Amino acid sequence: MFTPIRIAAIFGLSGVALGAFGAHWLAPVLAANQTLEVWRTASLYHLLHAVALLCLAGKPKAHRRAFRWIALGIVVFSGSLYLLALSNLKPLGAITPLGGLMLLLGWGSLFLNAPQSPEAGDPE
């Protein structure tokens, strides 16, 4: 079963694997295509947002929307950049901002559903 923690773990695992794959095995190809930085950006956002997913995994139901937007944002944002780096097809870059918007929606949803009392973990 795909629980939120398992989904976060899949994104973390795949982020590390894809980052290492790009840095070690694909680096000569990506450098030749001048897309190594694109791959690095995809990997960075992938990993950072995998950690965010892990933090959201045990949170209340109110945070599920944020979790979903961030997970989808990783797929679209980082996925489009990975494909762009591998194929050097510039039109794929038009998809990337949609993934960025999904990540923003996730963070915005988290903001809107954050607890508002000090007892719930907010600083006083």
pLDDT given at position 87: 92
What sign for the dihedral angle of Cα 114, 117, 121, 124?
positive
- Split at pLDDT 50, 70, 90, the class of 27 is confident
The pLDDT tens digits for 62-108 are 799 999 999 999 999 999 999 999 998 989 889 999 999 999 999 99
- Can you list the alpha helix ranges (DSSP code H) found in 1-124? 4-20, 27-32, 36-57, 64-73, 79-87, 96-112
pLDDT at 9 over 80: yes
Residue-level pLDDT at 121: 53
pLDDT value for 124: 47
Q: Rounded to an integer, what is the distance from CA 117 to the centroid of its chain?
A: 29
- Please give the structure tokens belonging to residue 1: 């079963």
| Residue corresponding to tokens 């508002």 | 116
User: How distant, in Å, are the alpha carbons of 41, 61, 68 from that of 104?
Assistant: 16, 19, 12
pLDDT at 77: 97
Q: How confident is the model at residue 114 (pLDDT cuts 50, 70, 90)?
A: confident
Q: What's the rounded mean pLDDT across residues 18-29?
A: 89
Looking at residue 1, its pLDDT comes to 82
Arithmetic mean of pLDDT over the chain:
90
